[in-house]
Structure 1
Amino acid sequence: MSITDSATMLRRNVKHTMRDPVVLFNAILFPIVMMFMFVYVLGDGFDVGGGDYIDYAAPGMIMLALCYGMGATATAVNSDMTKGIINRFRVMNISRGAVLTGHVVSTVVRTLIGMAVIVGVAFAMGFSPAASFPQWLAVTGILALTVVAVTWLTIAFGLAAKSPESAGFFAVPLIMLPFFSSAIIPAEKMGPGIRQFAEYQPFTPIIETVRGLFAGTPSTGSTLAAIGWCVGIGVIGYVWSLDKFTKRV
């Protein structure tokens, strides 16, 4: 019953996404616009240690595709909690946990599609990774783990917010975080203070892991740090989400 209910919630969320052009723009098109801007407008101004800037920027743009779609998830979760939808589902005898599961799965699917589109556009712009097939599988795994972890944290933000508008605001720091990482330029090129923040925040080891795998030279240290951050974020988001959800229903 729970699996059936989760599938029903998934179809519902997918339909809502397809009917909302803003969500599709933020999740897919806007990161592409950002990639064009950074590569073709600003790319020549960045010193990334040789090589084409697109090879450096692609992993960072993939992270932007992850974060820019999360505001819509936080807003949608909060709307379900504050506009009476949960009460309707309760009358219909739908599993309460299916509501969260539906949001998680739909967000993960939407985000992974957005990431795949970013990679495809990057190839069209000259992206030339040296990764082997196992390394491509590792890239897919680390990105999927990151998406699941960040999605649970985003859902917790949505449940903790008082209104859909404030839920969207909760996601703003998450959206901005990749800009203060190694997504656009190497952390060592940044000024004091910002450099240390970029080096020790969660997105930098994730981006560096993906970048190393694409280059065919993965770093064990970055990979372990990335996995550790993902597991930590995912556990915190999951526990926080269940706590808030239980209290509100």
Structure 2
Amino acid sequence: MSVPITAAGDLRRLVVRGLRRETRVLDGLIVNTALPVIIMILFVYVFGGAITTGSSGLDYIDFVVPAVLLMSGGYGAALTAVAISEDMTGGMIDRFRTLPISGWVVPAGHVVASVIRNVVSAAIALAAALLLGFRPDASPADWLLAMALVTAYVLAMSALAAVWGLLVRSAQAAGAFSFVVLFLPYVSDGIVPAETMPGVLRSFAEHQPLTPIIEAMRGLLLGLPMGSSGLVAGLWLAGTVVLCVPLAAVLFRRRTASR
């Protein structure tokens, strides 16, 4: 049997392990499923009436949905750091080292499982948005591109979380990454228009990575002009994946070599 086929089989088994692991942690499964719906209801019904969408002229639900889709997928993706950290500190890696598997497939299995799980989470958020009155104006091609953008964002956050989980030495420290990912949309153009923010905060919101991703999502789902947002978003996401995937493999190899 060739090495690529063997590695692919190992990766598949580790992805299945990651997905099964989530189903056994009932509270985590409930949070990942319910959080997108709760966030959607909170923003639309509690904050929506008090927030204007600035020059976009959109209804608030249309304005905020792209950001919530990324929040729901990104938050769960960030928890990949905790899963990897628990494997590294809980003895599971010692078991893996006794098996004839390639080391890189362990972090890769976590990342792929995270992408599958959190794309589903984003789909739940989208279903909730449609029930609450979100009415996109997108062609089938636009829908495919929007879903590809969400998937790429989840992949990038999962890979970045894998790197963080391998850098820190405890699951508690690894969990801090999820708060950063959950907070970042609030200081973007996703929840309130960046044009309404004060100087320094507005500059940060306009130039941080999530803003062009959200603007590209709005362009695809609502038929708004995107300008250069799609290109900038693609560069941010591609750069994150290209940098973090090999870095996670290197960090994993170094951590396990020192055990």
TM-score, normalising length from structure 1?
0.95
1:189-208 mapped onto 2 (5 Å cutoff): 189-208=196-215
* Cross-structure match for 2:17: 12
5+ residue gaps, structure 2 = 1-5
CA distance in 1, matches of 2:119, 2:136: 19
1:24 to 17, 23, 29: 29
Q: CA deviation at 1:126?
A: 0.6
Q: CA deviation at 1:51?
A: 3.4
- SS of 1:96's partner is coil
2:46 to 41, 44, 60: 41
CA distance in 1, matches of 2:147, 2:73: 13
Letter in 2 for 1:216: G
CA distance in 1, matches of 2:33, 2:196: 29
1:80-119 mapped onto 2 (5 Å cutoff): 80-119=87-126
Q: CA deviation at 1:178?
A: 1.1
Contact kept, 8 Å, 1:64 with 1:175, in 2: the verdict is yes
Letter in 1 for 2:132: M
1:143-222 mapped onto 2 (5 Å cutoff): 143-222=150-229
Contact kept, 8 Å, 1:43 with 1:53, in 2: the verdict is yes
> What's the CA shift string for 1:10-52, capped at 9, x where partnerless?
1111111011133324433112211101100110111114332
* Cross-structure match for 1:70: 77
CA distance in 1, matches of 2:206, 2:66: 16
Question: Are 1:230 and 2:237 counterparts?
Answer: yes
- Identity between Structure 1 and Structure 2 (%): 36
TM-score, normalising length from structure 2?
0.92
Letter in 1 for 2:21: H
> What's the CA shift string for 1:195-229, capped at 9, x where partnerless?
11110000010011001111113414000110011
Inter-CA distance 218–133: structure 2 relative to 1 (3 Å threshold) = farther
Q: CA RMSD of the aligned region, Å?
A: 1.4
Q: CA deviation at 1:244?
A: 1.0
* Cross-structure match for 2:3: none
Contact kept, 8 Å, 1:26 with 1:69, in 2: the verdict is no
CA distance in 2, matches of 1:22, 1:158: 21
The alignment covers a number of residue pairs equal to 249
> What's the CA shift string for 1:159-203, capped at 9, x where partnerless?
001111111113322221111111111111112211111100000
Letter in 2 for 1:99: V
Q: CA deviation at 1:232?
A: 1.5
